[in-house]
Amino acid sequence: MPMSENVKTMDRRQARTRRALQQALLDLIEQKPWPEITVEDLTEAADIARPTFYAHFPDKAALLEDATQQLLGELSERVLAASPRNEPVYRGAGVAEIFRHADEHTALYRLLTGAEGSGRPRTALVTVLRGLAASVFEPLAESLGGTPPLPMHEITAAFTGAGVAVLHDWLRGEIEGAPEDVAVRFMRGQIGGIEWMLGLGPGTFRFEPA
């Protein structure tokens, strides 16, 4: 077999192993608390040998980070596809996608928004959410003639902080409602602040849920 074919076969095998471990992690955090999950649990669930695990990840925290990055990539694609960039009427589709995605991966998001998920995976979640907010807010302010009185990193910090707090409580049953309903209520509470932070006149940025 040519060397290039060997490399391709190895790459495919490694990708399958990583996917199996990611899925094992997602399945296990639905069943037991994160601190109780062991590397042995993960290798059994993925049906791989322990040395194979360590060939890919130094520990379970690295696997969590890898799985988080994979799902956040998926989230970004969904939110960007749903979010308008320069319309004066906002439908809330992007925020609704975030809550739907969290609903589909409840255990992972519960982990990431809680104390147990502190560190790099939580930072990755916040970084992605802030980037998504900036991708909507920056062109929106420009197209509507706004002059933000705050730097964009402060605007996205305020918006994302509020969103993660609502996600945290909703995933733990402290806020009730379907993903779309919670997203609408969240945005109704944010519109006035967004309008001011983007330097827009009152009533310039309207929220009309789909």
**Residues 33 and 100 occupy one common structural domain:** no
Q: Picking from 81-85, 125-129, 189-193, 198-202, which range would have the lowest pLDDT averaged per residue?
A: 81-85
Cα 68–Cα 34–Cα 177 angle in degrees, nearest 5:
70
Tokens in use for 58? 């130094």
Region of 145 on the Ramachandran plot (φ > 0 left; ψ -120 to 50 alpha; else beta): left
Per residue in 67-115, pLDDT tens?
999 999 999 999 988 876 656 677 788 999 999 999 999 999 999 998 7
Per residue in 134-187, pLDDT tens?
998 898 888 888 999 999 999 999 999 999 999 999 999 999 999 999 999 999
Q: Is the pLDDT of residue 6 over 80?
A: no
The share of the chain scoring above pLDDT 70, in percent, equals 91
Contacts of 92 (CB under 8 A, 6+ apart): 183, 184, 187, 207, 209, 210
**Residues 89 and 156 occupy one common structural domain:** yes
**Residues 23 and 65 occupy one common structural domain:** no
**Residues 130 and 32 occupy one common structural domain:** no
**Residues 106 and 50 occupy one common structural domain:** no
**Residues 46 and 65 occupy one common structural domain:** no
Q: Is the pLDDT of residue 206 over 90?
A: no
Mean pLDDT of the residues in the chain: 89
The CATH number of the domain holding residue 13 is 1.10.10.60
- Tell me what pLDDT residue 3 has: 46
Domain with 203 in it: 60-207
* Count of structural domains, the chain: 2
The CATH number of the domain holding residue 99 is 1.10.357
Last residue of a domain, one of 57, 90, 105: 57
**Residues 103 and 168 occupy one common structural domain:** yes
